[in-house]
Structure 1
Amino acid sequence: MGTFKIEGGTKLQGEITPQGAKNEALQVLCTVLLTPEKVTIHNIPDIIDVNKLITLLKNLGVKVEKLSHGSYSFQADEINLPYLESAAFKEEGKGLRGSIMLVGPLLARFGKGYIPKPGGDKIGRRRLDTHFEGFIKLGAKFRYNREEYFYGVEADELHGAYMLLDEASVTGTANIVMAAVLAKGKTTIYNAACEPYLQQLCNMLNSMGAKITGVGSNLLEIEGVEKLGGCEHRILPDMIEIGSWIGLAAMTQSEITIKNVSWDNLGLIPNTFRKLGITIERKGDDIHIPAHTDGYEIQNYIDGSILTIADAPWPGFTPDLLSIVLVVATQARGSVLIHQKMFESRLFFTDRLIDMGAKIILCDPHRATVIGHDFQSQLKGIQMSSPDIRAGVSLLIAALSAKGTSIIQNSEQIDRGYERIDERLKALGAKIERIA
């Protein structure tokens, strides 16, 4: 088990460049299975979850060549389909929730796709119904081995269909889109997710020869084609990491510039942090956060009632940043209600923050009220464990702002989503080291 040791209370300064987007990478990497031609992808983050997916692709027979840091070429011209039913795949696939994204491309091109029940963060139920209901509407037959928790879909031929998704699932939409691009006829997906990463996926598929319209809206139309070709694609910067660095700057009262953030794809993120009183300056395509030496004050609604920050499907505020917002609020002036609608276990990490001295009322599994300290009472360092990626980095930010020494165990959870985070934080002046 990996461990971080953090000496808190140090002001940070400097520039940091966000990594490639984890959530986009887990989608676009699977498109390589849709064509026997070479696909080149740039700005791939060097993180545990993405590297696991690349290993799965290699084991499937995809030829993978690392061109430079973050740049790879992939060629899926000799796929090892028997691997999908092997004991090795059943073991390796279940350790990564992103492995579900393999099913759509495999079904589209080879007529079958299998996956063990995927793992990932322990943040509550994350059902797969949307994925498989979409495949069934395209003509696939579904089977599930309850003893081995093994899912499968098979089809001699997929046919376009109309579908109204029961939830605007990002991964569900992506998986169905990747299956539909090679289906016979027209597929219409209503209540589709429209996140920037889903837009990236659709644009990439179109560059490979797919015919997808409505990109960026919740109504996608896909005319199936017989085959797709190769392409070159660049992954967007990770908006969750960008939000993490905004929170880090505010909590440590540090002056930090976040480089090349792709402002047009950040949606509500900058304004949500501004509602917490954080000054966010746009400089070209960079974000500059000045040192908040006088703290920051949470805005109330215009009628004076307490601010609520809640997650919602894009263009709403991403659930992956609610943990960061909650931590930032612990040192604000004022109070805020955090409403985590999508996952019922994601706020349980607040007990560690309470142990550090934060004033938080956990109302229920989905809601927490935070009463800010206004930096009048500094959090104190403690020993804790990272429960998932986003809670882990939130605890790390809290530790960097706290008085004294903090120990964060299970640091692999943070490494699943953040590339070389200790080295990059040290470059800003943070006192952090790996001790195990």
Structure 2
Amino acid sequence: MVPIVRGRLNLQKNKKNLQNGKDEGSGMSVEQLFRINGGRKLSGGKVSIAGSSNQVTKCIIAALLTNEHILIKNAPAVNERKIAEELFAFLGGRVEYLDEHTIRLCANEVMKNSISRKICQKNRISILAVGPLLHRFGKAYIYAALGGDKIGKRPVDFHINGLIEMGAHVELDDNLYHISVDENGLRGAHIVLPFPSVMTTENLIIAATLAKGRTVIENAAIEPEVIELVKMLQKMGADITMNANRTYIIQGVDKLKGCELRIMPDRNQAVSFACAALATGGNVLLEKIPHDPLYSFLNYIQRMGAEFRVNSEGIFVSSPKGKRLKQSHIEVEVHPGFMTDWQQPFMVLFTQADGISILHETIFEDRLGYTHFLNSMGANINLFSTCLGEAPCRFKHKNHTHSAIIHGPTPLKGGNFRMPTDIRAGMCLVIAGLVGSGPTILSNIQELQRKYDNIVEKLNQMGADVSIIQGTLTSV
């Protein structure tokens, strides 16, 4: 066991050239690059799916609600989990590694109620710690400039307004939120969310567990990861009911206890690997993953002509034999609809499908910018600000580019790109590189490593030819 007590995690640095971060011959920065030799069919392989990064980070923060031990199994070995652990340890919590995928947390020595600017800038997860800190200290301080994927406007207004409705007092001074409660602490409230935001729902549920009285959250998110968080809190002694029409009812309790939980498989990771196989005309076995997290995804690929089977080994997906995938029309919606994190890998499928496909993104207003990379590789994608679909859309008549028409099939060719800060867009470029002829070189790969563990090993097990190299993007 390697305990971390009130400390920060240190990432191991490459010893050669990276000590000063420079290529001595050119004066340019040297970094890790992701090299893909494309044009290979990914067929006959299998891949293990890590635990959900979207779930484990929220569960780490929820451990701040109790002074008893929380044991988390199947925690993914990804950078986003490390960021949450760093936040937990910075506040004074203890993190023990029982093995690579098992951690034990204890917050009984948490002593800080202020989160540093550096940690806030790494990820938006910091905002979830406000509720637990208010319960412990009555005050919390967090910087407004929060990090995370650059996928459109992502203000914390929903979070702040929900906490205000629960009795919090909020002031913003020099980009620092001063959040406090009176001697009565947070109290129950009836909150109707303007949009079923996942992280806002998780934040308010966490805060409501120890609030005085009853909290009702309407128009809330019901994603599987949210339900898993609710199950964890219930194990800790929380009183949470989920009613019809996306409504949670939380009756505050005086104290929460420790628990043990297992992180669900990462459905976004599973979809990414499945799309990589299908886009190259191949197949893959997603080992041990259950049907439930992927049932919606499987329906969409089945419409395009792909095949799948589910058994005790996992889920096997395969391209149609002797034929191309068929065109499709997909609208991104809140769960249980087509997930916003699926549209980027699916975009590569559309470029290889026979016919004209349409995608309508209704969750984020600025999440199709990555398509210019695909067009430079040979895709034929046109973007529109009009709503190309029937789903209710917040962006109608608002001039946001959020719909796409894709003409396929088109051959793709490799290229050199700096990976965007939208992780799923980065994975889209990886899949496009696997499909394309010639090599593709990607920089800024730490963005990909935030949510994908052992990605080189897993893709190569599927039949790819990928590697991590050292260099500069312009020199390879």
Give the TM-score band, short-chain normalised.
over 0.9
Q: Match of 1:303?
A: none
Taking the aligned partners of 1:336 and 1:291, their CA distance within structure 2 comes to 17
TM-score (normalised: structure 1):
0.92
Taking the aligned partners of 1:62 and 1:379, their CA distance within structure 2 comes to 48
Write the deviation string for residues 155-200 of structure 1: whole angstroms up to 9, x where unpaired.
Answer: 1311111111111111001100111110111111111111111101
Identify the match of residue 344 of structure 1 among 339, 354, 365. Answer: 365
How do residues 36-435 of structure 1 correspond to structure 2 at under 5 angstroms?
Answer: 36-81=67-112, 84=114, 89-116=116-143, 117-145=145-173, 147=174, 149-156=175-182, 157-214=185-242, 218-284=246-312, 286-298=314-326, 307-364=328-385, 365-373=401-409, 377-387=410-420, 388-435=422-469
Shift of residue 247, structure 1, vs aligned partner? 0.5
- The 3 A distance-change label for structure 1 pair 155 and 202 is same
- The 3 A distance-change label for structure 1 pair 143 and 424 is same
Taking the aligned partners of 1:416 and 1:345, their CA distance within structure 2 comes to 21
Unaligned runs of 5+ in 1: 300-306
* Number of equivalences: 420
Identity of aligned residues (%): 36
Shift of residue 341, structure 1, vs aligned partner? 1.8
Shift of residue 125, structure 1, vs aligned partner? 0.4
Q: Is residue 194–residue 215 contact of structure 1 (8 Å, CA) maintained in 2? A: no
**1:170 partner amino acid:** V
More deviation in 197-206 or 422-431? 422-431
Taking the aligned partners of 1:217 and 1:35, their CA distance within structure 2 comes to 30
**1:107 partner amino acid:** L
Shift of residue 102, structure 1, vs aligned partner? 1.5
SS in 2 for 1:268: helix
More deviation in 412-421 or 203-212? 412-421
Q: Point out 4+ residue stretches in structure 1 off by more than 6 angstroms.
A: none
Taking the aligned partners of 1:166 and 1:152, their CA distance within structure 2 comes to 24
Shift of residue 216, structure 1, vs aligned partner? 8.2
Write the deviation string for residues 380-403 of structure 1: whole angstroms up to 9, x where unpaired.
Answer: 111112112000001101101111
Taking the aligned partners of 1:121 and 1:295, their CA distance within structure 2 comes to 36
SS in 2 for 1:435: strand
Q: Is residue 334–residue 363 contact of structure 2 (8 Å, CA) maintained in 1? A: no
Taking the aligned partners of 2:202 and 2:341, their CA distance within structure 1 comes to 18
Taking the aligned partners of 1:204 and 1:26, their CA distance within structure 2 comes to 13
SS in 2 for 1:20: coil
Shift of residue 288, structure 1, vs aligned partner? 0.6
Q: Is residue 273–residue 325 contact of structure 1 (8 Å, CA) maintained in 2? A: no
Q: Is residue 192–residue 219 contact of structure 1 (8 Å, CA) maintained in 2? A: yes
Taking the aligned partners of 2:227 and 2:265, their CA distance within structure 1 comes to 14
**1:248 partner amino acid:** A
Shift of residue 124, structure 1, vs aligned partner? 1.0
Q: Is residue 338–residue 368 contact of structure 1 (8 Å, CA) maintained in 2? A: yes
Taking the aligned partners of 2:32 and 2:247, their CA distance within structure 1 comes to 44
- The 3 A distance-change label for structure 1 pair 171 and 267 is farther
Shift of residue 291, structure 1, vs aligned partner? 4.6
Taking the aligned partners of 1:401 and 1:276, their CA distance within structure 2 comes to 18
Taking the aligned partners of 1:153 and 1:268, their CA distance within structure 2 comes to 40
**1:19 partner amino acid:** A
Write the deviation string for residues 273-328 of structure 1: whole angstroms up to 9, x where unpaired.
Answer: 222322222223611123545243336xxxxxxx4312111111110111111111
Q: Is residue 310–residue 322 contact of structure 1 (8 Å, CA) maintained in 2? A: no
**1:10 partner amino acid:** R
- The 3 A distance-change label for structure 1 pair 124 and 320 is same
- The 3 A distance-change label for structure 1 pair 27 and 7 is same
SS in 2 for 1:221: strand
More deviation in 256-265 or 133-142? 256-265
Taking the aligned partners of 1:216 and 1:398, their CA distance within structure 2 comes to 40
Are 1:14 and 2:45 matched, yes or no?
A: yes
Q: Is residue 108–residue 178 contact of structure 1 (8 Å, CA) maintained in 2? A: no
Write the deviation string for residues 118-173 of structure 1: whole angstroms up to 9, x where unpaired.
Answer: 1111111012111111111111111112x3x2223211311111111111111001
Output the aligned Cα RMSD: 1.7
Shift of residue 260, structure 1, vs aligned partner? 2.1
TM-score (normalised: structure 2):
0.85
Q: Is residue 9–residue 404 contact of structure 1 (8 Å, CA) maintained in 2? A: yes
